[in-house]
A and B are shown apart, each in its own frame.
Chain A
């Protein structure tokens, strides 16, 4: 609390093995206060396992997790007081009403009695549940149940909120609302958001972390991820297509792909954009370029590119 510069969450060489399977393999990262971290990965990559270990629901095989300076294994009570967790399946007691449930969650999180009703009202308001207080959780729609799950995680205003796939199974409107809620949470809390939906990360997070087969393969800011998504290919249509060697002789051109008779795809290095020289040469040599499309690498492609490579050691950079 007293050192605002110290990271809120520090994860050190965290591993979890299920028998011979390494579900999570030596993951290290840290999270600053007020940062929203997107935790991306295909299904079964180890996202949920990591989150369970951070929240103390699962003991790591090795490594350590420190929240707000407290080790989750050695001082679990202090560490857990600083976190709120929405697991993949919201832990809801369906036979209770929203108010009863949130009251219970407030007491579980050791909110002093006089502050409970204020805390419940506050988190209901933040999650858009004002009208739902007296409804049975079992009768709520999936989207509202998800909100109750989030309300439960933020009721004690924890410094760190972990949301495990909060938008799964929701309709597009609900997804937008939940994302807005997550963005709002990011104003006051640190949030870790796990998902396998890429636009969600672009829409809500400051930083992205991609995990694949238990290893961290990418850990950087959203801006740097966008850098990766920069143009690295051009699609060109020529009236009179030149030979491949002619194209390769241009600076920066790495590879030429013939799509069809008149169309070529040119791959180049991000630092050396050959578009200008290409156009100039085309004019002087009379190739007759009549179409030129920069091809952007989508987040999906970056993702596939990162997760489908041969397993190698994490190139993760510490922030």
Chain B
């Protein structure tokens, strides 16, 4: 399968660069620190919390904030991973290799997307190991954790799709990174403008708005559809952008 050839090559070249390793290490370190301090707080207040009626569980107190923090950290990191997807090929003029091979534009884009997506999933797995380690000494709401991880994965998939598209617009990876970061941040905070109206259009567009229910353990098909539509739209845009390369400048 041509798509997997491209995806495999993308993933391999990510791991050939020190950037991917550095990012994995830094993200893991920071989230590990956050996780431990959260755990610390929990242990401190454990006695008081246990007295409450309808007391929140470990998952609610530790895991949900951890995944929420992870989302923010990854928002800063994803642009660095997606920036070079297409822009670097443009810069190094290696796109003709793909364009002259018997592959379609959709295969190129989807292959690259699956490559970066696999990397993101590796990151999600690494993050998931932290809350899972709690199973050694306690109990977890596995359903809630799974919903949270699904939310994180969908969010990363959406980030990657928009990053891939923006990377196809320019030949400078740094420019792609800056624009991607701006776009992600804007998507994150776009509901600030509609503070009073939690059901307005802007609130609906905000990614945070769709991620939060998942982190709370609520799997809503509307939220999942939002992420899938988001991914689909940006992949189509990226395919069209590459196609436009061959057309009139």
> Would A76 and B100 count as touching, CB distance under 8 A?
no
How many Å from the CB of A108 to the closest CB on chain B?
Answer: 4
How many Å from the CB of A30 to the closest CB on chain B?
Answer: 20
Nearest CB in chain A to that of B9: its residue: A104
A259 vs B95: C-alpha distance in the bound complex, in angstroms? Answer: 55
Task: Note all chain B residues with C-beta closer than 8 A to A61.
Answer: 248
Residue B17 at the A interface, CB < 8 A?
Answer: yes
How many Å from the CB of A62 to the closest CB on chain B?
Answer: 12
**Contacting residue for A80 out of B5, B93, B100, CB 8 A:** B100
Task: Note all chain A residues with C-beta closer than 8 A to B5.
Answer: 104, 107-108
A104 vs B2: C-alpha distance in the bound complex, in angstroms? Answer: 10
Residue A78 at the B interface, CB < 8 A?
Answer: yes
B39-60 CB contacts (< 8 Å) to partner A: none
> Would B100 and A55 count as touching, CB distance under 8 A?
yes
How many Å from the CB of A78 to the closest CB on chain B?
Answer: 7
Task: Note all chain A residues with C-beta closer than 8 A to B101.
Answer: 80, 105, 108-110
How many Å from the CB of B10 to the closest CB on chain A?
Answer: 11
* B interface, size bucket: 20 to 34
> Would A80 and B97 count as touching, CB distance under 8 A?
no
A213 vs B132: C-alpha distance in the bound complex, in angstroms? Answer: 68
Interface segment among A88-96, A126-134, A202-210, A291-299: the answer is: A88-96
> Would B100 and A85 count as touching, CB distance under 8 A?
yes
A107 vs B102: C-alpha distance in the bound complex, in angstroms? Answer: 10
> Would A59 and B246 count as touching, CB distance under 8 A?
yes
Q: Contacts A91-B97, A108-B103: A57 and B246 contacting too (C-beta < 8 A)?
A: yes
How many Å from the CB of A114 to the closest CB on chain B?
Answer: 15
A77-103 CB contacts (< 8 Å) to partner B: 77-78, 80-81, 83-85, 87, 89, 91-96
**Contacting residue for B94 out of A18, A80, A92, CB 8 A:** A92
Task: Note all chain A residues with C-beta closer than 8 A to B246.
Answer: 56-59
How many Å from the CB of A103 to the closest CB on chain B?
Answer: 10
Residue A10 at the B interface, CB < 8 A?
Answer: no
How many Å from the CB of B8 to the closest CB on chain A?
Answer: 9
Residue B195 at the A interface, CB < 8 A?
Answer: no
> Would B100 and A57 count as touching, CB distance under 8 A?
yes
How many Å from the CB of B142 to the closest CB on chain A?
Answer: 40
> Would B97 and A55 count as touching, CB distance under 8 A?
no
Q: Encode A285-305 as 1/0 by CB contact (under 8 A) with B.
A: 000000000000000000000
Chain A CB within 10 A, most for which of B9, B101, B103, B248: B101
> Would A57 and B99 count as touching, CB distance under 8 A?
yes
Residue A152 at the B interface, CB < 8 A?
Answer: yes
A77 vs B101: C-alpha distance in the bound complex, in angstroms? Answer: 8
Nearest CB in chain B to that of A58: its residue: B246
Q: Contacts A59-B247, A77-B102: A105 and B97 contacting too (C-beta < 8 A)?
A: yes
B205-249 CB contacts (< 8 Å) to partner A: 246-249
Task: Note all chain A residues with C-beta closer than 8 A to B249.
Answer: 18-19
Task: Note all chain A residues with C-beta closer than 8 A to B247.
Answer: 59
Task: Note all chain B residues with C-beta closer than 8 A to A84.
Answer: 100
A96 vs B94: C-alpha distance in the bound complex, in angstroms? Answer: 13
B1-47 CB contacts (< 8 Å) to partner A: 2, 5-6, 9, 13, 16-17
Task: Note all chain A residues with C-beta closer than 8 A to B104.
Answer: 76-77
A119 vs B16: C-alpha distance in the bound complex, in angstroms? Answer: 25
Residue B137 at the A interface, CB < 8 A?
Answer: no
> Would B92 and A85 count as touching, CB distance under 8 A?
no
Task: Note all chain B residues with C-beta closer than 8 A to A95.
Answer: 13, 16-17
> Would B99 and A108 count as touching, CB distance under 8 A?
no
Q: Which 9 A-B pairs have CB atoms at the shortest separation, nearest pair first?
A: A91-B97, A91-B94, A85-B100, A108-B101, A59-B246, A80-B102, A77-B102, A81-B102, A89-B93
Which A residues have a C-beta under 8 Å from some C-beta of B? 18-19, 52, 55-59, 61, 76-78, 80-81, 83-85, 87, 89, 91-96, 104-105, 107-110, 152
Which B residues have a C-beta under 8 Å from some C-beta of A? 2, 5-6, 9, 13, 16-17, 92-104, 246-249
Report 8 cross-chain contacts, Cβ distance below 8 Å, ordered by A residue: A56-B100, A76-B102, A89-B93, A91-B92, A91-B97, A96-B16, A108-B6, A108-B101
